[in-house]
Amino acid sequence: MNPFLQSAEAGAFLAVIILGIVLTTASPQFLTVSNLTFVARGFSFIAIASLGVGLVIITGGIDLSVGSIMGLSGVIAAFLSSHGFGTVLSLSGALLVGVIMGFLNGILVAKAKLAPFIVTLGMLSIGRGLVYVVTGGWPMQGLTKPILFLGQGFFLGLPLPVWIMIVLLIIMQIILRYTAFGWYVYSIGGNDEATRLSGVFVDRIKIGVYVISGFFASIGGIVLTARLGVGETTAGNGYELNVIAALVLGGVSLSGGMGSAVSALFGAALMGILRNGLVLLGVSSFWQQISIGTVIILAALFDQIRLKYSK
């Protein structure tokens, strides 16, 4: 049998198809070009950030700072842009924020041996605080037209955020499947100590995955801010939960050692379609949260059952 058909990603893909069929039957508005475009653009921000966090989780870690990095990167891009630094410098500064915060996460986890949960939770608070320091609590105006195009533009009929997601997905899949770095990521998640004893610089790899996670979070934050049109102080709030939920739904194991870039895509798509479907069906926003939370718990439970019977 094809390995993909036996993978967790196949289950997520099947869930996307089934959910799509159910919603098409329940609501004629679901399978329209405008709605599908809206859904794809909506989940692309989560998918982009998930690509980086997925690396961290595959190594057995966790990154709760992703939402704050997204928000801070967005307001930094807006701040620099509004102060006349131009498109290139504004984007570079925003991306540098993610790299620095990711590097600090990696150093504290790999070198100081602090728990990833505590480190990234602390960085979440720091990042969110810096957002308010930079903005003073007010939205930041002044994004340049090229930056706005990243979130609001179209290319060949598809929103530009979707194209950015696709390009990053391909790059990440190549890294994970066809490079030594990708092999080390899976190896560390499978058995950290055995990988270290085999001569791999485990600490460097761990620092690297947190840097990549921060970098991808910055990209997601920039694109999200460009879509909103301003540097919102609340941008990225709660995205850490959305990202982790998408990865779990997509088949990334929270125990480490299992998952792929495709997992991020399928998981984010599943969350996006589910949210959109609940809106089209007129489900209350309160019940939407309950429904999505229930699905996430069931996905995590299924992951544990799958791991138990795969041993």
**Structural domains of the chain ordered from first start:** 41-303 (1.10.3470)
Return the pLDDT at 257: 84
How far apart CA 125 and CA 132 sit, in angstroms, is 11
Return the pLDDT at 1: 45
> Is the CB of residue 69 less than 8 Å from the CB of residue 214?
yes
Assigned token pair, 61? 């870690």
Which residues of the chain, if any, have pLDDT below 70?
A: 1-8, 307, 309-311
116 Rama sector, left if φ>0, alpha if ψ -120 to 50, beta otherwise: alpha
First to last CA, the chain: 20
Element (H, E) at 196: helix 192-197
The torsion defined by the Cα of 30, 34, 37 and 38, in degrees rounded to 10, comes to -80
User: For 80-136, how does the pLDDT look when each residue is reduced to its tens digit (9 = 90+)?
Assistant: 999 989 999 999 999 999 999 999 999 999 999 999 999 999 999 999 999 999 998
> Is the CB of residue 103 less than 8 Å from the CB of residue 207?
yes
What amino acid occupies position 288?
Q
CB neighbours of 11 closer than 8 A, spacing ≥ 6?
Answer: 251
Supply the pTM of this predicted model. 0.92
Return the pLDDT at 8: 64
